Amino acid sequence: MIVIAPQDEPAPGNIKVTRWDWINLALQTLISDGVESVRVLPLGQKLGVSRSSFYWYFQSRQDLLDQLLAHWHETNTKAIVERARRPAKSIIMGVLNVFECWADERLFDPRLDFAIREWARRSDDVRRAIDKADDDRLSAIRDMYRRHGYDEEDAFIRARVLYYMQIGYYMLDLREPVEARVSHLAAYLRSFTGQEPEEADVAHFMRFMAAR
């Protein structure tokens, strides 16, 4: 899970607990137990503080939930969009930029994405946020293909195949070892681009994997 580093001062009288402690615990709870378990009193008990600490940082439970949703957008969605927009010498390298999100959970947390999608089953507002995030991610990947010469429809479908395949991979909770998946990297690149990757492209991504 992506953990937020402390960036503010603790509330008076609760020097060991910061706003980010509340958010990180709320994120962990959302992922492990679902949104209905993200409640002020149980969180405070786990942190060993009273509810007054919570209300120093947040106006309400809804305020906390809104910030969890904002954090998800600023991590999972932003990572995909940023890497799809990153300059690349070829579509192969462009796709490998996006692959960084799938390979490093510090960039894209699949468990958090799944938890938000489960939450969306109970909230129309969150459902709309999910729909917008999917559109933003797909649009960025489609535009990446367009920049490398694919026509509108081909870029649209290739973006869908790349993105939906990965989200489906997470939803199915496949337990394929990373080593096994990476062993098919060249074949994946051929499938997603219709081009033959160079050995240097594969080596570049393998260095990224080794440096995680």
Average pLDDT of every residue of the chain: 92
In angstroms, how far is the first alpha carbon of the chain from the final one? 14
Residues 34 and 84 in one domain: no
Of the listed ranges 9-23, 29-43, 83-97, the least confidently predicted one is: 9-23
pTM equals 0.88
Same domain assignment for residues 169 and 193: yes
Q: Are residues 100 and 165 in the same domain?
A: yes
pLDDT of the residue at 2: 55
What is the pLDDT averaged over residues 147-152? Answer: 98
In 3D space, the residue among 104, 55, 58 whose CA is nearest the CA of residue 80 turns out to be 104
Residues in the chain: 212
Task: Say which CATH number the domain at 27 has.
Answer: 1.10.10
pLDDT at 96 over 60: yes
The answer to whether residue 2 is domain-embedded is: no
pLDDT tens digit sequence for 56-67: 999 999 999 999
Q: What is the span of the domain harbouring residue 80?
A: 61-210
In a domain, 4, yes or no: no
pLDDT at 14 over 50: no
% of residues, the chain, pLDDT over 90: 82
Give residue 1's pLDDT band: very low, low, confident or very high (50, 70, 90): low
Instruction: Give the model's pLDDT for residue 9.
Output: 55
pLDDT tens profile 169-199: 888 888 888 788 888 999 999 999 999 999 9
Q: Give pLDDT, residue 180.
A: 83
Q: H helices of 9-121, where?
A: 19-33, 40-47, 51-57, 61-72, 78-85, 91-103, 110-120
pLDDT at 131 over 60: yes
Which residues have C-beta within 8 Å of that of residue 55, sequence separation ≥ 6? none
